[in-house]
Structure 1
Amino acid sequence: MNQPGITTGNKVGYEQAVINRKFGMRDKLGYMFGDLGNDFFFILVSSFLMVYYTDIFNISAAAVGVMFLIARIWDALADVTWGRFIDSRRASKHGKFKPWIFRMSFPLVLSGVLMFVHIPGMSNNFYLIYAFITYLIWGTLYSTVNIPYGSMASVITEDPVERTTLSTFRTMGGVIAGMSINVLGPLILFVDNEADANRFLLGAIAFGMLSLTSYMACYKMSTERKVLGADVPLVKTKLSTTIKGLAKNKPLLSILSASLLFMMLNMLLGAVNVYLFKNYFGNASALSIAGLIQIVSMIVAIPLTKPLVKRFGKKETASIGMLLAGIVYLVLFFLPGLSAMSFILITAIGVFGYGFFNIVVWAFVTDVIDYHEYLTGLREDGTVYSVYSFARKVGQAIAGGIGGFAIQAVGYESGKAVQTDQALDGIFTLSTLVPGLVFIVIFLVLVFTYPLNKQRTNQLVTDLANRRSEK
């Protein structure tokens, strides 16, 4: 029976692709490489692009905030547009999603390098316009790679535990990229505690090559198993039908809220931490130590995630981790006299806590995609994932804007070697009290609004399998 709002040809069906090779380590590593490709540049941008703009281009923090806000809202719209476009394309012999990773990764990496090109002697207006154009192009091209990559997880496997493993390996990719950038980045990018234009370009080229290599590994090693067959007509869905289904998807709305808050906070911390160590602690190189120890915290959490999720469920594991993180950062706010190393060690406990959410969030998304199919009968992996990515981009936009405005609001002055005590105290508050409160709010969102606990997630898989077998 046809679903409302769907026009079809002679046959509409959901077909399980017959793939001889079973899901295994090759898929996990391939998916890990995809996030390596994403994060080699994404983390470089989120952690260091603002300080590059303020200290090398001499753009005010507020202007950077406005630029980030506008560009990220544009990126969010690009995500949804690209997701709808991919859902309207038929799968090729290489799959529906991964060919786009191959096609678009080359221009994406090139645009990323261009962001870090500094032409000496130009006017302030030139640098502002150049920064805005190159950042906008990079963000748009990022959508063309990230949307198919994120959507691909739902067609690699249907098993909830295997999806958690994919999510874990995706996080491992982010951890490796984060360790590379946060540990090596400050050593490459700064000279005598100051941002250096030539070093930033060198870093962008190096991480860009690593990014491109990782994308190619993802393309070669990943296998899409759940695809529409070549003899099955494409399903054309009215946008109004899709929107109605998304509006009824309570798990989607809940995880969007939690992810929006988490991404806003993550971007804010990424921007503020540079100023925290560079100005508050007076030691930019300590960022390397902070990055290393925080990565170790994530590494400790990774092997614990699968057994905890298998026993308690994704919702339950992520919620407790968020509560722990909130408590740690609130405690830090009341300890302003700590040394940089003591601060780093205590935040590592918080990173361990929120790391569980960060590890399983992509498995949350695949469950949400399944729930959309359960509600509407529509399999719209690209669209649903792009809506999720839309929320993350909105979070990035708000965080980028808030980050710039907040840093300026507490009294930070671009290009000034010594900041006021008021500015330094404000930076410390942005790094402790704000994340503590936000983590507690995310904990409450997960506990009281996300409905897919362990039992209901397993039942969803069974119900979908039964429904598909009847077609």
Structure 2
Amino acid sequence: MGIVQPKPISTENGPGGKAIRPFGIRDKVGYLLGDFGNDFSFMLIMAFLMVFYTDVLGISAAQVGTLFLVARLFDAFTDVLWGRFIDSRKTTKLGKFRPWIFRMSIPLVITSTLLFVPIPGMSDGFYLAYAYVTYILWGLMYTTVNIPYGSMAAVISGDSNDRTALSTWRTMGAMLASLIINVLGPLVVFVDNKMEADRMFMVAVVFGLLALASYMGCVRLTTERIVLPEKTNEEKGSIGKTFKALLKNKPLITILIASLLFMINTMLIGAVNVYLFKDYFSNAAALSIVGLIQTGTVFAAIPVLKILVAKFGKKETASIGMILASAFYFVLYFIPNLSMTAYLVLLTVGMFGFAFFNLVIWAFVTDVIDYHEYLTGVREDATVYAVYSFARKVGQAIAGGVGGFAIAAIGYNSGSSTQSPEVLDGIYTLATLVPAVTFLVVFLILVFIYPLNKKRVSDLAQSLIERREATR
């Protein structure tokens, strides 16, 4: 079958039978606001909650680590249950997914604020119990918003380029929220290098209100265009049948493996970079430069990404990025005794490479959702997205200790102000050779195993449009 461009779906009737506007900048901005809101909660917690628990509530770091592991595994299972629940709901005038973002964003904002409530004069047992209850509750509320938000991209448009744009704008929203939190947050919450509990709570309230406004903007500006007849919901089989089909979904399985390797690798890079610049280059302040480079490369890649995806496709563009990243991390490893400046210059090119995968990953997910519909004849956006989210959270729970295990394995001595040459060489290897090899493996998976190239994605979209037209 030759390459067939999908028919435009912008003139179809949306929820409620009304003609809907074409996909455009409103949808992009609205989808950006969704992850902007997500990360005003998620990134704030990732950046400051552990310090709040240890320094304000007096909970030990080991107890906090256990809490995070338990909660993340609990979240992984609730993701799947909530995804299945969402798919069983009927489509409303707002669509299937936007109503849940609207309904659950307020409970999410309330629970994210409760995490940082200063409660003086209580026992250690109370603080630990409070942390468990509020953190697990927050994770549950985050799931109720994030699963419909992530699933919604697959029904905003069926066009591959539109979905790439949504993935790009989603990443932009996350990066912008991260910049605001990581730049402004520390300036407000720390006084004389110590976290102030009242200031931390104030920041949580302000960012919570910003998150709520962002979610409302997401609901207001986006439009769900792909709507299937309600009889499809009635024909859905058991959850066992669904998961049997998911196991046959080769694109889902392969992109899950590639995504998990990428995520674990980037988490390892983030953990090891602290020791690389602190101990190897003796310049911990340079870590802020690394953070700016990573953000800058993402925004620099955006205009290039649009051109490459339109010409070559998502799989092909992500593959180019992975081999570029791998090549420059190999260069870093094989050129000895680099100055920190030279290292940062070469690192910039490597980060520019893996920015492409970061920007298109969510578009890959929408394609595997379509493939599930192609295999089964059933549209289960939230279930497929939830399975993807489940795997990522299990991976995050496992990956959380990778950096620590790796640093310990090379003989790092935390009690010493200086490290041996062998340890420094080990740090440098972890920071360069390991990422180079991992990015190469991801490249090979994309090129030789992941089946949805540009042509197949186009053919898949056309097949689904024809099937949906036949059932109307």
Q: Decide which moves more: 164-173 or 146-155.
A: 164-173
Shift of 1:83: 0.3
Counterpart position of 1:436: 436
Distance in structure 2 (CA, Å) of the matches to 1:123 and 1:359:
45
Secondary structure of residue in 2 paired with 1:397: helix
CA offsets, 1:53-90, max 9 Å, x none? 55555655554443322211111111100000000000
Counterpart position of 1:421: 419
Counterpart position of 1:10: none
Q: Decide which moves more: 35-44 or 119-128.
A: 119-128
Shift of 1:405: 5.2
Counterpart position of 2:470: 470
Q: State whether residues 62 and 404 of structure 1, in contact with CA within 8 Å, keep that contact through their aligned partners in structure 2.
A: no
Shift of 1:260: 1.6
Shift of 1:166: 1.2
Shift of 1:366: 1.0
TM-score, with normalisation over the residues of structure 2? 0.85
Distance in structure 2 (CA, Å) of the matches to 1:462 and 1:373:
13
Counterpart position of 2:29: 29
Task: Note the 1:14-413 alignment, pairs <5 A.
Answer: 18-53=18-53, 61-119=61-119, 126-191=126-191, 197-229=197-229, 234-270=234-270, 286-332=286-332, 344-403=344-403
Q: State whether residues 13 and 20 of structure 2, in contact with CA within 8 Å, keep that contact through their aligned partners in structure 1.
A: no
Counterpart position of 1:8: none
Counterpart position of 1:451: 451
Shift of 1:443: 1.7
Letter in 1 for 2:46: S
Distance in structure 2 (CA, Å) of the matches to 1:278 and 1:246:
44
Shift of 1:155: 1.0
CA offsets, 1:282-326, max 9 Å, x none? 776654443323211111101111110111111111012122223
Secondary structure of residue in 2 paired with 1:236: coil
Report sequence identity in percent.
59
Distance in structure 2 (CA, Å) of the matches to 1:57 and 1:330:
44
Distance in structure 2 (CA, Å) of the matches to 1:386 and 1:138:
17
Alignment size in residue pairs: 455
Letter in 1 for 2:312: F
Secondary structure of residue in 1 paired with 2:400: helix
Counterpart position of 1:3: none
CA offsets, 1:382-410, max 9 Å, x none? 11111111111112111224345556776
Letter in 1 for 2:419: D
CA offsets, 1:140-177, max 9 Å, x none? 21110010001111111111111111111111112212
CA offsets, 1:104-159, max 9 Å, x none? 11221222233334545656555444433332222221110010001111111111
Distance in structure 2 (CA, Å) of the matches to 1:161 and 1:405:
41
Q: State whether residues 86 and 97 of structure 1, in contact with CA within 8 Å, keep that contact through their aligned partners in structure 2.
A: yes
Secondary structure of residue in 1 paired with 2:227: coil
Is the alpha carbon distance of 1:264 and 1:209 closer, same or farther for their aligned partners in structure 2, counting shifts above 3 Å?
A: farther
Distance in structure 1 (CA, Å) of the matches to 2:57 and 2:336:
32
Distance in structure 2 (CA, Å) of the matches to 1:106 and 1:208:
9
Q: State whether residues 13 and 225 of structure 2, in contact with CA within 8 Å, keep that contact through their aligned partners in structure 1.
A: no
Shift of 1:336: 8.8
Q: Decide which moves more: 154-163 or 18-27.
A: 18-27
Counterpart position of 1:9: none
Secondary structure of residue in 2 paired with 1:237: coil
Shift of 1:328: 3.2
Distance in structure 2 (CA, Å) of the matches to 1:356 and 1:281:
28
Distance in structure 2 (CA, Å) of the matches to 1:318 and 1:182:
27
Q: State whether residues 52 and 195 of structure 1, in contact with CA within 8 Å, keep that contact through their aligned partners in structure 2.
A: yes
Q: State whether residues 232 and 378 of structure 2, in contact with CA within 8 Å, keep that contact through their aligned partners in structure 1.
A: no
Distance in structure 1 (CA, Å) of the matches to 2:427 and 2:118:
28
Distance in structure 1 (CA, Å) of the matches to 2:339 and 2:114:
37
Q: State whether residues 48 and 274 of structure 1, in contact with CA within 8 Å, keep that contact through their aligned partners in structure 2.
A: no
Distance in structure 2 (CA, Å) of the matches to 1:47 and 1:378:
40
Shift of 1:262: 2.2
Ranges in structure 1 where 5+ consecutive residues have no aligned partner: 1-13
Q: State whether residues 101 and 219 of structure 1, in contact with CA within 8 Å, keep that contact through their aligned partners in structure 2.
A: yes
Distance in structure 1 (CA, Å) of the matches to 2:336 and 2:195:
26
Q: State whether residues 71 and 135 of structure 1, in contact with CA within 8 Å, keep that contact through their aligned partners in structure 2.
A: yes
Shift of 1:349: 2.2
Q: State whether residues 182 and 288 of structure 1, in contact with CA within 8 Å, keep that contact through their aligned partners in structure 2.
A: no
Is the alpha carbon distance of 1:69 and 1:311 closer, same or farther for their aligned partners in structure 2, counting shifts above 3 Å?
A: same
RMSD over aligned Cα, in angstroms?
A: 3.3
Q: State whether residues 37 and 215 of structure 1, in contact with CA within 8 Å, keep that contact through their aligned partners in structure 2.
A: yes
Q: State whether residues 78 and 140 of structure 1, in contact with CA within 8 Å, keep that contact through their aligned partners in structure 2.
A: yes
Letter in 1 for 2:352: F
Counterpart position of 2:9: none
Is the alpha carbon distance of 1:402 and 1:119 closer, same or farther for their aligned partners in structure 2, counting shifts above 3 Å?
A: farther
Distance in structure 2 (CA, Å) of the matches to 1:128 and 1:73:
18
Q: Decide which moves more: 165-174 or 120-129.
A: 120-129
Is the alpha carbon distance of 1:64 and 1:437 closer, same or farther for their aligned partners in structure 2, counting shifts above 3 Å?
A: farther
Is the alpha carbon distance of 1:144 and 1:451 closer, same or farther for their aligned partners in structure 2, counting shifts above 3 Å?
A: same
Distance in structure 2 (CA, Å) of the matches to 1:399 and 1:219:
33
Is the alpha carbon distance of 1:351 and 1:200 closer, same or farther for their aligned partners in structure 2, counting shifts above 3 Å?
A: farther
Shift of 1:250: 0.4
Ranges in structure 2 where 5+ consecutive residues have no aligned partner: 1-11
Is the alpha carbon distance of 1:60 and 1:405 closer, same or farther for their aligned partners in structure 2, counting shifts above 3 Å?
A: farther
